[in-house]
Amino acid sequence: MKWQGISEFVAVAEEGSFTAAARKLDLSTAQVSRQISQLEARLGVKLLYRTTRTVTITQEGSVYYQHCRAVLDGLQHAEDELLNLQSKPQGTIKITATVTYGEQVILPLINEFVLDYPDVKVDAYLTNKRIDIVEEGYDLAIRIGDLKDSTLMARKLSKRSNYVCASPRYIEKYGTPHTLSELANHNCLLGTLDYWRFNLDGKEKNIKVSGSLRYNSGFGLTQAALKSIGIVQLPDYYTRRYLDNNKLIPLLETYRIPEEGIWAVYPQNRFMSPKLRVLIDYLVANIH
């Protein structure tokens, strides 16, 4: 008896309307309204102000909501813990990542992950656009660099470095730039931006560059550099193996920006589902 109406009240408080709350709970609007009215009568307190167009929460309702939300979170956590004890993680994880890093690093690891956890399904969408994961309903995003949305939770997976580099043949033919100003004398192969990022006196500085090619493909730019067409600035997951075998030579190392974090970002829920926790742990353990 004491629990009746609490889920309905919390849903209305969060959704801002009886209709939206009813849709969320898969109930009729009339049933939601009736349950909340009975709850208010039992408590002897007005929880919501209702007009023909809006629903607002009262001061008493706001206090009651905080406690009710904590209770419902606790119940959900208890169910999640029981599920975690009774069986392996299960269900669908919706994930997004940048295209190249997703193809080269994340998806190969997920292929291994689902072999170990066959009850987990993964729906992955790769894009270089910054998606609002809460609005779009994603469980997890892999993001690189500074994190701007403080409402999300984050766990560091790895880090990346950006290298300016060119082939030995290009350097032999055109020389080695030693200062940022010397880039004006070189064929700088561009991506989606018309500037490169450098560390100058401890601060990041954008230097405008130009050249004969502009690709929205890091792979294409890497191949152009290997063919000695020009100089590139690219993350290490494009260039690492070519730097290791000296097919590309790092340049302007004094000005290289500090390493950037690679993050697992997820909505700020009080409790993380077992399937998501296991996946993030797996990525942390296997990304190098």
Give the H/E segment covering residue 56: strand 55-57
Residues carrying CATH 3.40.190.10, the chain: 91-160+261-286, 162-258
CATH number of 162-258: 3.40.190.10
Tens digits of residue pLDDT in 122-176:
999 999 888 888 888 899 999 988 777 667 888 999 888 999 999 999 999 999 9
Question: What DSSP letter does each residue of 201-265 carry, written as one string?
Answer: TTEEEEEE---S-B-S-HHHHHHHHHTTS-BEEEEHHHHHHHHHTTSSEEE-GGGPPPPEEEEEE
Rounded Cα distance between 127 and 100, Å, is 9
Class of domain 6-86: mainly alpha
Give the H/E segment covering residue 267: strand 260-267
Tokens representing residue 235 in the block: 């993350």
Rounded Cα distance between 230 and 211, Å, is 8
Q: In which order are the strands placed within the sheet that holds 232-235? A: 232-235, 162-166, 249-251
Q: What pLDDT was estimated at residue 178?
A: 94
Q: What pLDDT was estimated at residue 232?
A: 97
Cβ-based burial of 275 (10 A; exposed 0-12, middle 13-18, buried ≥19): buried
Contact 104, 237 (CB under 8 A): yes
Tens digits of residue pLDDT in 2-15:
678 888 888 888 88
Residues carrying CATH 1.10.10.10, the chain: 6-86
User: pTM score, two decimals?
Assistant: 0.59
User: In CATH, which superfamily holds the domain spanning 91-160+261-286?
Assistant: Periplasmic binding protein-like II (3.40.190.10)
Per-residue pLDDT of the chain (288 residues; tens, 9 = 90+): 567 888 888 888 888 888 888 888 888 888 888 888 888 888 888 988 887 778 888 898 888 889 888 888 888 877 777 766 555 678 899 999 988 889 989 999 999 999 999 989 999 999 988 888 888 889 999 998 877 766 788 899 988 899 999 999 999 999 999 999 999 999 999 998 889 999 988 888 999 999 999 998 899 999 999 999 999 999 998 999 999 999 999 999 999 998 888 999 998 765 677 888 899 999 999 987
Strands (E), 74-193: 91-97, 120-126, 140-144, 152-160, 162-166
